[in-house]
Amino acid sequence: MVGGQGTRLRPLTLSTPKPLLPMAGVPLLEHQLTRAREAGVRRIVFATSYRAEMFHEAFGDGSRLGLEIVYVTEEEPLGTAGAIRNASEALTCGPSDPVLVLNGDILSSHDLNAQLAAHRKADAAVTLHLTLVEDARRYGAVPTAPNGRVLAFVEKSPNPPTNQVNAGCYVFRRSVIDEIPPDRVVSAEYEFFPALLADGAVIIGYVEAAYWLDVGTPAAFVRGACDLVNGAMTSPVVSGAEHGVLVLDGAFIAPSARVGGGTTVGEGVRIGEKAEVESSVLFSGAVVESGARVVRSVIGRGARISSGAVLVDVVIGDGASIGPGNELLNGLRVWPGVELPPMAVRFSHDA
């Protein structure tokens, strides 16, 4: 499932779909693809819509990853279940075989084979991976009976009945996909799963509280990237991280600069003397000049952070330029190509 527009991650997703954003040196999606391959998956159908051609450019026929990848593109986005129905034209398995469906923006280390085993054991129509969160209000809560059967789907409720939430990874019995209404927008969470439940179908929750992150927002994007670099989330395709920093080819870090906390320093990035970069993602070609401070932020391709600027919890679009002495905080987003003059934005009382 890779057709979403990724609106919450703008401006990063204006030029690149969320599943293709670089995370610890490779597209976000590549971490899940390689985990699926390690679990025994060999053939993957991409349900594309937004900027569909970019997926083909990134992964081609899949042979680079030891997978067979085929693409089915929606003319108009069909929603999470509509996309599954539409992509099913490319499935080759039999009607009772299991089909694994993965959201393209999840980092998860749960055991795909254990989920599959739970599905087979219950002879379920659908088996959902459920993860445990502290506060389920932002998620789809999914209460289950002691035998694992799903009792309800409670989306983004102020009073969720459980802290088990839909983790965006499903196993469908192949024939069940044909029950999704064709050729129109259908949401899995709001429409199809509740309808299936009302029809009495066996829907199973497979609960596993392994590392799990929905990479939907800038804060989650930064956290996921840092977790991959720090090793809190393991991925077969992350290598070369040392002392909490991943430095990619051609990057230069001045000796007096301090860089850490899971930061990714992208290809060709330059970090000047006495600059401080903490728990951040610097896309290729970004420049952090001397004495600048960057914390929990994403710096887009080729963007420039001038001397003495301070950035905490912000997103800087590709090619933007932040003049000296600016202080940007608290979720602020700068659009690609914007040039912020010196001292244009400050939050401190001493400004």
Cα–chain-centroid distance for residue 45?
Answer: 18
Question: C-beta of 4: minimal distance to ligand GTP in Å?
Answer: 2
Please report whether residue 3 would count as binding ligand GTP according to CB under 6 A: yes
Question: C-beta of 10: minimal distance to ligand GTP in Å?
Answer: 8
Using DSSP's 3-state secondary structure scheme, residue 167 falls into strand
Q: Which is nearer to ligand GTP, 82 or 325 (CB)?
A: 82
Catalytic site positions? 156
Q: Which is nearer to ligand GTP, 218 or 302 (CB)?
A: 218
Of the listed pieces 100-108, 175-183, 238-246, 291-299, which binds ligand GTP according to CB under 6 A? 100-108
| Residue type (1 letter), 12 | L
| Residue type (1 letter), 59 | F
Please report whether residue 136 would count as binding ligand GTP according to CB under 6 A: no
Question: Could you tell me which of 194, 326, 235 has the C-alpha nearest to residue 303?
Answer: 326
Contacting residues for 121 by C-beta, under 8 A, at least 6 apart = none
Question: C-beta of 91: minimal distance to ligand GTP in Å?
Answer: 15
Site residues for ligand GTP, 25-54, by CB under 6 A, read 47-49
Site residues for ligand GTP, 175-234, by CB under 6 A, read 216
Please report whether residue 78 would count as binding ligand GTP according to CB under 6 A: yes
Question: C-beta of 182: minimal distance to ligand GTP in Å?
Answer: 14
Task: Specify whether the CB–CB gap between 203 and 124 falls below 8 A.
Answer: yes
**Alpha helix stretches (DSSP H) within 178-268:** 193-198, 218-230
Please report whether residue 2 would count as binding ligand GTP according to CB under 6 A: yes
- Give the Å distances, CA to CA, from 37 to 29, 42, 65, 96: 12, 6, 8, 22
**Alpha helix stretches (DSSP H) within the chain:** 12-15, 28-38, 52-59, 79-87, 112-122, 174-177, 193-198, 218-230
Q: Which is nearer to ligand GTP, 76 or 97 (CB)?
A: 76
Q: Please give the helix or strand (H or E) that residue 100 lies within, else none.
A: strand 98-102
Q: What is the DSSP letter of 174?
A: H
Question: Could you tell me which of 74, 83, 35 has the C-alpha nearest to residue 52?
Answer: 74
Q: Which is nearer to ligand GTP, 49 or 235 (CB)?
A: 49
Question: C-beta of 61: minimal distance to ligand GTP in Å?
Answer: 19
Please report whether residue 6 would count as binding ligand GTP according to CB under 6 A: yes
Please report whether residue 8 would count as binding ligand GTP according to CB under 6 A: yes
Question: C-beta of 218: minimal distance to ligand GTP in Å?
Answer: 11
Position among 16, 88, 103, 264 found at the interface with ligand GTP (CB under 6 A): 103
Contacting residues for 319 by C-beta, under 8 A, at least 6 apart = 300, 301, 302, 303, 336, 337
Please report whether residue 74 would count as binding ligand GTP according to CB under 6 A: yes
Q: Which residues bind ligand GTP (CB under 6 A)?
A: 1-9, 18, 47-49, 74, 77-80, 83, 103-105, 216
